[in-house]
Amino acid sequence: MNTKSPFARTLIRFSNNRIAMIALGVILILFAIALVFSILNLAHDYWPHDPNATHLEQKLLPPGPGHWLGTDNLGRDVLSRMLHGAYISLTVGFVAVGVSLLIGTAVGAAAGYLGGWVDNTLMRIVDAMICFPAFFLILTAVAMLGPNIWIIVIVIGLVSWTSTARLVRAEFLTLRETEYVRAARSLGQRPFAIIVRHILPNAAAPIFVTAVLGIPDAIMTEAGLSFLSFGVPPPQATWGNIISDGKSYILDAWWLILFPGLAIFIVCLAFYMVGEALREASQTKP
């Protein structure tokens, strides 16, 4: 008899996926790098160089000893700036997804459990939000409010919650008719208690998968905004503005485009692979 919980079985199935474990290792390495670099920043002890220090006599140096990923047009060390960009990207990704998850879960839970006019009203709001291109809404909001990392994070979260709301609503429409929810309702428990104690824990797996898959979308959105000069303002380094600075030197300094582009590709691919593996593991029957 299998006594393991569904969550434990999901983790076991996920751990048996070698490709997913490699992708998870990449993400954990990125976490470690971002954490160490942020601690060094707080101590003003930069490694390998100060990401904002300019040395015009060393501008556009190719990768080599001393500057392993080369330097940019102002002589700043690309490796140091990419390490700082990892911290920015993770901050944007996780906080924006947290905002999106909070709003989407609340809206979807209310619509799915209460139904009726509440469901109709909230879903029409969701439909209206989906009609507008999310990136252009973000671009407009950032242009009006000004480029700032926390403004970018909040705006991304405020326009990207619709898919989570639709998913949570679908889960709640199914789970509210289960026997344990009916039993809780017959015992006189309030709707909020039923949602938090009985329905939400059973809908947590798909919500968590959606959150993991939303992180690379937020990272790429921030990179796109920074590339268009609407992202995190200089001199703070992000992968997007490193590429933006290097686009004018693409024939002479290929490393300014290649390395941050590869970083975005590898990190986003790792998150997508982990998310898909979690989805498969949670849907596989024991």
Q: How far is CA 4 from the centre of its chain?
A: 30
Residue 56 in domain:
no
pTM of this structure: 0.88
- Domain tally, the chain: 1
More confident residue, 137 or 122: 122
Average pLDDT over residues 92-117: 93
What domain range is 227 assigned to?
A: 6-43+69-283
* Gap between the Cα atoms of 46 and 51, Å rounded: 8
Residue 3 has pLDDT above 60, yes or no: no
* Gap between the Cα atoms of 97 and 99, Å rounded: 5
* Gap between the Cα atoms of 129 and 131, Å rounded: 5
Residue 5 has pLDDT above 90, yes or no: no
Instruction: Calculate the average pLDDT of the chain.
Output: 88
Q: Is the dihedral of CA 265, 89, 126, 191 positive or negative?
A: positive
Residues 168, 108 contacting (CB under 8 angstroms): yes
Beta-carbon count within 10 A of 3 CB: 5
CATH number of the domain encompassing residue 239: 1.10.3720.10
Residue 102 in domain:
yes
Residue 16 has pLDDT above 60, yes or no: yes
Residues 259, 180 contacting (CB under 8 angstroms): no
pLDDT tens digits, residue range 53-87?
899 999 999 999 889 999 998 999 999 999 888 88
Residue 246 in domain:
yes
* Gap between the Cα atoms of 52 and 180, Å rounded: 58
Residue 62 in domain:
no
Residue 82 in domain:
yes
Average pLDDT over residues 115-143: 89
More confident residue, 47 or 219: 219
* Structure confidence at residue 4 as a pLDDT band (50, 70, 90): low
Q: State the helix-helix crossing angle for 255-283 and 78-114, rounded to 10 degrees.
A: 30
Residue 60 in domain:
no
Q: What is the pLDDT of residue 6?
A: 58
Q: Which two tokens stand for residue 12?
A: 């076991």
- Least confident interval from 15-29, 36-50, 177-191: 36-50
More confident residue, 88 or 10: 88
Average pLDDT over residues 204-233: 89
Residue 210 in domain:
yes
Residue 111 has pLDDT above 90, yes or no: yes
Q: What is the pLDDT of residue 1?
A: 42
pLDDT tens digits, residue range 135-168?
888 888 888 888 888 888 999 999 999 999 999 9
Residue 209 has pLDDT above 80, yes or no: yes
Residue 269 in domain:
yes
More confident residue, 257 or 11: 257
